[in-house]
Amino acid sequence: MPLALKRETAGPAIVKGRRIQTKPIFLEESSMEVELSRDIFLVFLNAAPQKANVLYKQNNGNYGLMKSGF
């Protein structure tokens, strides 16, 4: 579902957005989800520490992981 985005500053504009449903999954499952989708990243709730993570596909074929600090 597209989001209504409000521009608050000058500079590059966010021109597209979408609402995502995050569900608790384990890290191993997240890499399978990225492989099965056309996306190059996945925002998910890591089931082990119950924190938001982003798994992304790198140009070299490996994955990167961003973990929330709060």
Q: What is the pLDDT of residue 12?
A: 87
42 class by beta-carbon count within 10 Å (0-12 exposed, 13-18 middle, 19+ buried): buried
Domains and CATH numbers, the chain: 24-67 (3.30.505.50)
Its pTM surpasses 0.75:
no
Average pLDDT (11-25) is: 83
Query: What's the rounded Cα separation, in Å, for the pair 2 and 44?
Result: 19
Q: Which residue has the higher pLDDT, 3 or 54?
A: 54
